[in-house]
Chain A
C-alpha cells in the first residue's frame, strides 16, 4: 500500500506573513523523503497542510492522482507521528493504538466511553481490531506494554506507541513531524535505523520533517531543503552534499559547515587560483575533506593561521583563518598529523581545480564546460 504524492504551487499566508511560497514537490510511491530546514522555514506547516490539519491558501495536493484538498485528515489515508507523540494519556497503550481502527470500524454508539463497551454485535470486529493492534505493536516491539498507560513509558517507548498507532491502519502515506527530537542522542540513532527499517518493511511513502540534516541525510531517498518558505533544492543526499545549488543549502548540509572564501582573497592567498576563477567577484566554497594538511602533487598551497583543533577520535577537525580573515576547516585522519600550536602559521593544500562557486546572492555558478577555467568558458 503506497501512493505518489503531488504538491502543486502550495502557498500559505498567516495574515501578512507568507509562510509558504509556491511550493511544488512530486513524491514517488514508496519514497522516503525528508523536508529539512531551519526552524521557521515552513516545513511543519507544509506537513500540516498535507495532513489536512491546516488549509493551504492556494495550490493543490493530490495523492495517487486524486485531489485531496477538500478531504478531512482521516479521509486522506494518511497517518501522522507527532514530535510530542500526542498519545491519549487516559488510554492504555493498546487503546491508543486501537483508536484509529475503533473510530473507523465501529458504529457511533459503540465508540462511546461507557455504553460502547456493552453495545451489542461488535465482538467480531473488536476481536479483529485487537488482533491488528497486537500485530502493529509487535512490529515496533512494544507488545509487552499494551496494558500500560503512556505515563509509565519512557520517551523512546512512547514514540514506538505513536509509530504503532500510525502503522495500525496501514495508510498509504506516513507523515512524521520531527519524531525523534524529544529523544536523547543515543536513542535517536537507534530509532533512526528502526524507522528506516520500518519504511523498508511497509513500503509506504514516508514524508519526514526534521531540522537535523544528519537525520535527513541518513534516512532519506531524497531530501528537500526548505528555506524561507521555499524548497531551495530537492535531491538525493549525496547530490545535495556534492552539488548544492544554493549557498544556503551548501551551508546547511554537512558538518562542519562548508568554508567560504571570496575569489579575491583566494587569489591573494595563491596566484594559481587566478586562472581557475572567473573575473567577476564570486564566492568559492570548500568542504572540509577537500583540504589537505600534507603536500599533494598538483595542489595549490595556501598559508593560514591555526585557530583550534577538535579531536573526534578517528579524525580531527582543524579550524584555520586565512590572512584576509576568511575561515577554512580541514577534516583529516587523526594519525600521522603533527600540528603547530594554536596561533602559529601553517600551510594547507587545495585541489588545483575550480571549486564550488556561488554568486553574491548565493546562487550556484555552473560553468559552461567542465574542467575548463571559468573565465575561458
Chain B
C-alpha cells in the first residue's frame, strides 16, 4: 500500500537520485573513463615527454637524464629540419587543395538533379579504401617506366615523368594521393553542411537580387558553411600533418630525403636506429605544432564563423 509508505515516519521519502547522490558516487562512476583516458592518452604522453629528456635507447639497460640535450641536437640536425620543412610544404599543399576540392565537389553535386548519391559514393570510395593498398596502386599508376600515366604521356608525345623518382615532384605526388583521398571525405562533410542551409534563404536571396550563382555562393552558401568549414580545415590540416603510410610504402623518404616528413623521420629514429630519447623529442615537437595549429584555428576562426 503506497499511501502507508509515505506516511510512516521512519521510511525514506522518495527523492530524486541526484539530490541524495554524494560526490563520492559521482567520482566512482567517472573512474573507468578517467582511468582509460589516463592509461591510454595522458600516461603515454607524460612518459614520452619524460623520455625526451633522456638518452634512452631501445634495448639498452642504462638510462641517463640529459636535460635539453636531445632538443639542442634537433636544432643542429639537418635531417630533422628538412623533415620539418617537407611536412609544412606537404600540409600547405594538401590542406587547402583538399578543402577547396571537397567544397567544389559538394556544391557541384548538390546542384545535380539526378545521381547525387552515385557521385557522393564514387568520391567517397577512396576514404573507405586501405591507404597502403591504394598507395601501391598509385605507385604503379605513376611508375616511371611501366605506369599508365607515363604511357599516356608518351603516347601524347610528351617526355615521361618519373614522379616518385624526381626530387622536385615526389612530395607533390604524395600530396596528390592524399588530396584525392581527403577531398571525398571533405565533400561528404560539406554536403552535410549544405543540407543545413534552409531553402528559404535561397528564395530570399533570389528576391533580394542575388541573380548570379557567384553572388549567392559568396553571400549565402559560403558564410553559412562557416562552422563546417572550420571543422574541415582543422581535420584536414591534422590529417595532412599525420601523413605516414604513403611515405613508408612508396618513397621511404626518398629520393635523397625529398619526401622525408616528420613522422617518418621520427619512426626511423625510434624504430630503426632505436634512439628513443631523440625520437621522443621529435614527437614532442610534432605534438606542439599540432596543438598550436588547433589552438589558432579554434581561436581565430571561431568567432568569425559562428552566428
Contact = CB atoms under 8 A, between A and B. Distances in A.
A72 B206 contact: yes
> Which of A48, A51, A103, A108 has the most chain B CB atoms inside 10 A of its CB?
A103
> Which of B209, B211, B215, B220 has the most chain A CB atoms inside 10 A of its CB?
B209
B206 A103 contact: no
A82 B203 contact: yes
A129 to B, nearest CB: 13
- Nearest first, the 9 A-B pairs at minimum CB distance are A103-B209, A74-B209, A86-B204, A86-B200, A90-B223, A100-B208, A73-B206, A89-B307, A90-B307
A176 interface: no
A111 interface: yes
Interface string B200-227: 1101101111111001001110111010
Nearest to B223: A90
Given A100-B208, A100-B209, A113-B219, 17 more contacts: A72-B206, A72-B211, A73-B206, A73-B207, A80-B203, A80-B204, A80-B207, A82-B200, A82-B203, A86-B198, A86-B201, A86-B203, A108-B212, A108-B215, A111-B215, A111-B218, A150-B307
A84 interface: yes
B118 to A, nearest CB: 22
B207 A51 contact: yes
**Chief secondary structure at chain B's binding surface:** helix
Interface in A75-93: 78-80, 82-84, 86-91
Interface string A321-359: 000000000000000000000000000000000000000
B201 A53 contact: no
Contacts of B307: 89-90, 149-151
Contacts of B220: 88
A112 interface: yes
Contacts of A150: 307
Contacts of A87: 204
B218 A103 contact: no
Contact of B208 (A52, A83, A149, A165): A165
A113 B225 CA distance: 14
Interface in A143-175: 149-151, 165
A236 B231 CA distance: 55
Interface residues of A, number: 31
Contacts of B209: 74, 100, 103-104
Given A90-B223, A99-B208, A103-B210, A53 B215 contact: no
A89 B222 CA distance: 12
27 contacts: A48-B203, A51-B203, A53-B203, A53-B207, A72-B211, A73-B206, A74-B206, A74-B208, A80-B203, A82-B200, A82-B203, A82-B204, A84-B200, A86-B203, A88-B204, A88-B223, A89-B224, A90-B223, A90-B307, A91-B223, A103-B209, A108-B212, A111-B218, A113-B219, A113-B222, A150-B307, A165-B204
Contacts of A48: 203
Contact of A79 (B200, B201, B207): B207
Interface in B208-254: 208-212, 215, 218-220, 222-224, 226
Nearest to B203: A53
Nearest to B210: A103
Contacts of B219: 88, 99, 111, 113
Nearest to A104: B209
A112 B208 contact: no
A86 to B, nearest CB: 4
A112 B222 CA distance: 12
Contacts of A108: 212, 215
B203 A103 contact: no
A87 B203 CA distance: 11
> Which of A48, A53, A87, A149 has the most chain B CB atoms inside 10 A of its CB?
A53
Contacts of B215: 103, 108, 111
B203 A113 contact: no
Nearest to A111: B215
A113 B218 contact: yes
Interface in A57-76: 72-74
A74 B211 contact: yes
A80 B209 CA distance: 12
Contacts of B212: 108
